[in-house]
Amino acid sequence: MVRTFVAIDLPEDLRERARESQEILKRSSGRLAIVDPANLHLTVKFLGEIDPAQVDPVVEALRAVRAAPFSLTVGYPVCNPPRKPRVIWCDVTDGGESAALARQVDDLLAPLGFSRETRPFRPHVTLARVKEFHPSQCREAASIPREPLGTCRVASIKLKKSTLTPRGSIYEDLAEVAL
């Protein structure tokens, strides 16, 4: 079985700005699992464990996506939820483009047996997962300048493989589909 998801990758300049924010978050108490900056992305749809034989049909379905390239802006880090966070992430604004893309991916993959999302799509980029909460985590997040990390052009989506290891996830691109 292959653990997979559909994602939008971030360019190097945004990953570098995110890494700078992660350095500030590391000063907090408690325990955070910081996402490797090379792995930062916006998840369009998590597919979970799939049979390797399903990879090609998934890629073919993704090739049917009809969307124009668009711009997205990665905001500043916030705790989510604010009172006792499970993650520290950056909201993404894009005029609803990634949500429309997620709905389309849902529609295209449903005939292959993938469940449709029941929760509203909220585009974000996860910087850290909270393993042990401490209030200083949100204080450090709030100390980061309240300005977006940056804007980028989205021209493709990727089907990614995720291998879980004790040192964190290892991602591998299985396919890239142009918008």
Active-site residues, by number, are 41, 124
Dihedrals phi, psi of 138, to nearest 5 degrees: -75, -30
Of the candidates 119, 111, 96, the one whose C-alpha atom is nearest the C-alpha of residue 46 is: 119
> Where is 109: in which H helix or E strand?
helix 97-109
Q: How is residue 27 annotated by DSSP? A: T
Strand pairing of 70-80 and 41-50? unpaired
Compute how many other C-beta atoms are within 10 angstroms of the C-beta atom of residue 82: 10
* H-run or E-run covering 89: strand 87-93
- What count of residues does the chain have? 179
Q: CA–CA separation, 45 vs 105, rounded Å?
A: 7
Token pair in block for residue 173: 């691109």
